[in-house]
């Protein structure tokens, strides 16, 4: 189905567009629903020349190595754009995108997007800011995998999600709004499931982990250290 003006407004790169500009984009948009666990894009898929964005819900981007090991590259929530190669690269999906929850994905045809950028260069600037931020994040991840101890990578991962998704104050400390299972943390930081469990237990004076992936930061200074 075609995107509504409200749905277009939820996408970061279209924030601030005049109503008339969003109306012009509407005929070139499509919104598709996916259920939790459903594959949105497979690694290696040939992608249509479109902008992809999350209207609501959350998605997970993963990469599979030749050994079969799967690593979580990033998790994206409402308003975020993804699948950059569809617009800027070779048109091949570099990773697998999965619905982490029930979600809606919006696409905008490339030609219509370029026309909108001609009239509103701010769109291109916002896209560049998003992609630049992800390149920096990827650089830090690669650097961490090469040079940092596993416990440091794990601590940085928890700090990242605390800043990215926010926390809620409790009597114990700051509880992350996002749930991080052992499995997800292990795959995101390049360690085994068993090592992740061991390291989380070794941090019991710094963070509290409870069933379901609930993490509470007990001492932010110690976690940073």
> What's the predicted TM-score (pTM) here?
0.68
Q: Measure the CA–CA gap between 164 and 9, rounded to whole angstroms.
A: 21
What pLDDT was estimated at residue 140?
66
**For domain 149-224, which architecture applies?**
Orthogonal Bundle (1.10)
Containing 60, the helix (H) or strand (E) segment is strand 58-64
**Where in the chain is CATH 1.10.10.10?**
149-224
pLDDT band at 69 (very low <50, low <70, confident <90, very high): confident
What pLDDT was estimated at residue 97?
95
Burial (0-12, 13-18, 19+ Cβ within 10 Å), 14: buried
Q: Measure the CA–CA gap between 106 and 95, rounded to whole angstroms.
A: 18
Average pLDDT over every residue of 124-139? 79
Lowest mean pLDDT among 24-33, 137-146, 158-167, 171-180: 137-146
The tens digit of pLDDT for each residue in 38-56 reads 999 999 999 999 999 999 9
Average pLDDT over every residue of 97-126? 93
User: Is the pLDDT at 114 greater than 80, yes or no?
Assistant: yes
What pLDDT was estimated at residue 184?
86
**Where in the chain is CATH 2.60.120.10?**
5-145
| Nearest residue to 82 (alpha-carbon basis) of 108, 114, 102 | 108
Between 36 and 89, the more confident residue is: 36
User: Class of 5-145 per CATH?
Assistant: mainly beta
Between 199 and 161, the more confident residue is: 199
What pLDDT was estimated at residue 134?
75
């Amino acid at each position: 189905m075609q995107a509504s003006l409200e749905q277009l407004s939820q996408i970061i790169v279209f924030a601030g567009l005049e109503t008339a500009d969003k109306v012009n984009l509407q005929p070139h948009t499509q919104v598709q629903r996916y259920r939790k666990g459903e594959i949105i894009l497979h690694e290696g898929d040939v992608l249509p020349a479109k902008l992809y964005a999350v209207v609501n819900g959350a998605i997970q981007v993963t990469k599979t190595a030749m050994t079969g090991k799967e690593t979580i590259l990033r998790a994206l929530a409402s308003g975020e754009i993804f699948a950059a190669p569809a617009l800027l690269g070779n048109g091949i999906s570099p990773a697998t995108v999965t619905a982490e929850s029930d979600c809606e994905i919006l696409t905008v045809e490339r030609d219509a997007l370029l026309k909108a950028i001609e009239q509103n260069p701010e769109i291109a600037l916002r896209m560049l800011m998003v992609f630049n931020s992800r390149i920096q994040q990827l650089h830090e991840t690669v650097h961490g995998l090469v040079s940092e101890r596993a416990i440091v990578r794990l601590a940085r991962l928890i700090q990242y999600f605390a800043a990215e998704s926010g926390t809620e104050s409790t009597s114990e400390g700051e509880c992350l709004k996002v749930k991080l299972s052992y499995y997800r943390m292990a795959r995101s930081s390049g360690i085994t499931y068993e090592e992740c469990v061991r390291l989380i237990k070794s941090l019991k004076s710094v963070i509290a982990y409870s069933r379901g992936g609930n993490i509470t930061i007990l001492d932010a200074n110690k976690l940073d250290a």
